[in-house]
Structure 1
Amino acid sequence: MVDRVSALPDDILVSLVSRLPLKEAVATSVLSRRWQNVGLSTMTLRFDAVDFSIYNNLFPYFRQPKEFKEQESWKYIDWVNRVVQQHRGKHIEEFRISFCLDSRFSSSINEWIQFAMENSVERLELDFYPEVFAGYEDYTFPHKLLGLCIPILGSCGYNIGFKSLKVLQIRHVGVTGEVLEYFLSNCPVLERLSVTSTKDLVNLRVVGWSIALKYLVIENCYILESIEIRDVNIVSFTYCGFNSRNLLISNVPLLSEVTVSKRCCPKDYIRVVLTQLSCCLSNIEILKLHIQLGAGHNENPVLPLLANLKHLELLVAANYYKALHHLNSFLKASPYLQRLSLTLQLYSERACMGIGEIEKAADCPHNHLKVVEIVGYRAHKSGVELVMHLIKNGLGLEKIVIDPVRTGRYPHGADKPHTELDEEVKARDHAKQYLEPKIPSTVEFVCL
């Protein structure tokens, strides 16, 4: 018997081990002396809440009482500390912390970030989701680790640097515009930045051709007042929030994918968004507008030409009387559209005006539409009418996908209520019984 795997060079073994779940990767260090440093040199360190819960028989973590959760948070801290202290590698491809942590654990989190910096981390993810009404502040990213000299913070600390950082994702982390702009200016290969639910971000400037950033995601930053994106080669931008009137975009020649999701919008909000994107509308190939009813349209919307648009996603009030008219406005504005995804919502007459029977709309023939996806489909005739309208007008339609699942409605660890699951079952039965028989044989029908 010849152990040919153990005879491989260290760098190959470390690469193989780095593709294992963290627990299994570390466990290989007990196989033999040859493997001791290999297992502890894994380049992928993912400390996920789900893994921690399963390994410690705590799943589901979020159903536990408050006192128990606090104890387990400290156990999680100890778990990460032990792995970090034993780590023997000199380079980390991915370092991910995902757990219910807050400002009480700042000292340990700071040490983990410093450890990642010292090991030339390429992908850093800090995914914290503190308990609601727990009474503790979110963890705040420390300026001193970056060597930032901001007068209100006093003297500078030290700066190890993130020269290898390619991806930065932070959630429920206190971070200012100055910190984010530091990353953009001082991380020469940082291409992806995602910031979600931060309490300190007021203004953000992404400006300058020297910035390497290609993908930017800003979500649920509640006090954010303005975003300026100018003179950069960004290719994808996602914004989800409450206030984007001060969204300034100019001279972004490569921007081809845009997602905007907003609640409580004025009636002409889609016009506002498209005006803000006017400098790059001709380049956009993927456009996702997740905007609730009341925000989307005037009575007779006139949209600018989206000459290069191939993929469009819309949030649609399926039982809004102008739904078909508004859908036509996008079909007319997007002559080369190939894929259309509609996320359907149903409203009561008490909740919104204009809810009820859908008005018939004139034909709007479209030559390039090939795939239609209906997300959140429910057992309601309005969904059937929307699909039939698209079948009639999609002259080259090849495929229709029906997906009754509504994503993003429940927090971490929460199970769907039985009523939601029952609605999904009814929706599937309704689609197969009332919709599938109406689909032409030339169009593929898929019900997920």
Structure 2
Amino acid sequence: MKRKRPTFQVENNGKRRRRKCWDEYNKLDRISALPDDILVYLVSRLPLKEAVATSVLSRRWQNVGLSTKTLRFDAVDFSVYNNFRRYWPDRPEEFIEQESWKYINWVNHVLQQHRGKHVEEFRVSFCLDGRFSSSINRWIQFAMENRVEMLELDFYPEAFLRFGFEDYKFPHKLLGICIPSLGSCGYNIGFKSLKVLQIRHVGVTGEVLEYFLSSCPLLERLSVSYTQDLVNLRVIGPSIALKYLVIKDCDNLKSIEIRDVNIVSFIYYGYRSTNLVISNVPLLTEVSVSKETWKKEFIRDFFTQCCLCNIEILKLHIHGASYDEYPALPLLASLKHLELQVVANYNRALHHLYTFLKSSPYLLRLVLKLQLLQGGPSCPEIGDIKKAPDCPHNHLKVVEIAGFRAHLSGVEHVMYLIKNVASLEKIVIDPVRRWRYPPNGVNRPATELNKEVEARYHASQNLKPKIPATIEYVCL
């Protein structure tokens, strides 16, 4: 017998759908009743494409959606960006050119429609170079005229390197400055509202950055990465508002001088030729320095030229550094957190620990990032770890050994600390070398994963049994 169609279920489902639509309409109606300022605030928290899409809801929402205060033109949000790797092997130059112009047209279209008078954040991130200067200049001028607070120019032209294109050069005229050495004066516009500036793969000189610092009274955060034009940088004067400075991978940078400023944090990743000078910085509490150098005198020169008397967090990459038999480092009485990236199988590696423990009597947390080297003409002397003098320490509580490997040098580092640190409460063993595989060590090759498995087993067999029961042992 043929069954009847359950019409009541269809009717009920239809009612539910109509009810849901009606509820959504009521929600939108209630939201639309809010003042414009609140609506603009809410829309500005949406991704850019979603914020602009709200403009189709009604005439009022058109004004709201096109007045968003957050303009993030990220490459990952660009509709055709996902095809980049697919077409890259066949016609790289043609494809990059095509995608770059599509990205530029997208940005231009949004900016032409934008109706706001104030921009909190303006970010452009795509593979662009100097050929697109005229468009990029207009974007920067737009950001200035809309009193931008956070400006990020992230151009990553690694794909252009094989074609010989140059980085985009920052237009110093737009700063409203006059630099005689550059032969031109500016338009007197300025970035009076700018608080954060981040630039990557942008041609910018030390003179331009210094004028930025002096001409932007609210600029507190400055980050500069991968620029070939930066040779010398001076951050000097109490009138400078800068609190956080990051300089990374500027190949031609010879010197950085930071003096008489209220800077709080300084991060530097660079090369052997850069000379660092830091003095009269009473508020400086965090310093991170990673230099790709094998210069043995690095530690001595660093502490001679940099006054770090109030430092609380210190991170140093000291692969090639070595010490005299009795090194004299300054007293770091405020230091609470220390990270050292060291060569674990260097025959005087334990002297690294002795030196820093002695100069940091109130240290609470120590992180050792261990690197094992196999020898070679540029490597420091490698062999059996030589015994270091005892250095009793009464405040250190937590020790983390990152990049631990199945090698006795790692065990010797831990045993030295257990012997000398009476206050030790916790030891963390982490075989993952997260500093080599950001973010957080993901996408590591199979060979690296195998070494990590071997390291965990080595730690369980050769280290864990030697740790006293009063100390917590954690292996990640």
TM (normalized to structure 1)?
0.90
Alignment counterpart, residue 203 of structure 2, candidates 174, 178, 203:
174
Q: Which residue of 2 aligns with 1:216?
A: 245
TM-fit CA distance, 1:260: 1.7
RMSD: 2.6
Whether the 8 Å CA contact 1:233–1:254 is kept in 2: the answer is: yes
Query: Which residue of 2 is the match for residue 256 of structure 1?
Result: 285
Query: What is the aligned partner in structure 2 of residue 422 from structure 1?
Result: 450
- Residue 405, structure 1, aligned to residue 432, structure 2: yes
Unaligned runs of 5+ in 1: none
1:41 alignment counterpart:
67
Tell me the secondary structure at the aligned position of residue 102 of structure 2.
helix
What do the CA deviations read for 1:196-239 (whole angstroms, capped 9, x no partner)? 12111122221211111111122222222222222211122222
Q: Are positions 1:321 and 2:347 aligned together?
A: yes
* Alignment correspondent of 1:225: 254
Cα 1:221–1:437, aligned 2, differ >3 Å: closer, same or farther? same
Q: Which amino acid is 1:57 matched to?
A: N
Question: Using the alignment, how far apart are the partners of 2:282 and 2:438 within structure 1?
Answer: 37
- Shift of the 149–353 alpha-carbon distance from structure 1 to 2, 3 Å rule, reads closer
CA–CA separation in structure 2 for the residues paired with 1:102 and 1:245? 26
Pairing 1:52–2:52 present: no
* SS state at 2:128 partner: coil
* Structure 1 position 137, deviation (Å): 0.6
Change (3 A) 1:230 1:195: same
Q: 1:200 to 1:399 in 2, by over 3 A?
A: same
Counterpart residue number, 2:138: 111
Deviations 1:421-440 (A, max 9, x none): 33334434544554445444
Residues paired across the two proteins, number: 443
1:18 paired residue number: 44
Question: How far did 1:56 drift?
Answer: 4.4
Alpha carbons of 1:156 and 1:349: their partners in 2 closer, same or farther (altered >3 Å)?
closer
Change (3 A) 1:177 1:58: same
Q: Please name the residue that 2:14 is paired with.
A: none
Report the AA paired with residue 44 of structure 2.
S
Instruction: State the partner residue of 1:276.
Output: 305
Matched, 1:372 2:405: no
1:191 maps to 220
Larger Rg: 1 or 2? 2
Counterpart CA distance in 1 for 2:369 and 2:179 is 45
Q: Does 1:79 align with 2:114?
A: no
Q: Which residue of 2 aligns with 1:337?
A: 363
Q: Separation in 2 of the partners of 1:74 and 1:428?
A: 50
Say whether the 8 Å CA contact 1:195–1:217 is kept in structure 2: yes
Displacement, 1:182?
1.1
- The 8 Å contact of residues 202 and 225 in structure 1, kept in 2 or not, is answered as yes
Q: How many angstroms apart in 1 are the aligned matches of 2:273 and 2:267?
A: 12
Q: 1: distance between equivalents of 2:435 and 2:78? A: 23
Give the Cα separation in 2 of the matches to 1:415 and 1:62.
23
- 1:379 deviates by 2.6
Structural mapping, 1:135-150, within 5 Å: 135-150=164-179
> Match of 1:123?
150
Q: Which amino acid aligns with 1:182?
A: Y
Change (3 A) 1:369 1:59: farther
Q: Structure 1 402/369 Cα, relative in aligned 2: closer, same or farther at 3 Å?
A: same
Alignment match, 2:382: 355
8 Å contact kept, 1:242–1:262: yes
149-158 vs 383-392, which deviates more?
149-158
1:96 is aligned to 2:155: no
| d(CA) in 2 for partners of 1:238, 1:207 | 17
Q: Which residue of 1 aligns with 2:6?
A: none
Write the letter of the residue equivalent to 1:383: G
Quote the offset at 1:318 in angstroms.
Answer: 0.9
Tell me the alpha carbon deviations over residues 223-275 of structure 1, each in whole angstroms, 9 at most, x when there is no partner.
Answer: 22222222211122222222566433332222222222112242121011001
Match of 2:338 in 1: 312
Question: In structure 2, what residue type is equivalent to 1:389?
Answer: Y
Q: How has the CA–CA distance of structure 1 residues 423 and 12 changed in structure 2, closer, same or farther, with 3 Å as cutoff?
A: farther
SS where residue 133 of structure 2 aligns? helix
- Specify which structure has the higher proportion of helix: 2
Which structure has the higher relative contact order (CA within 8 Å, separation 6+)? 1
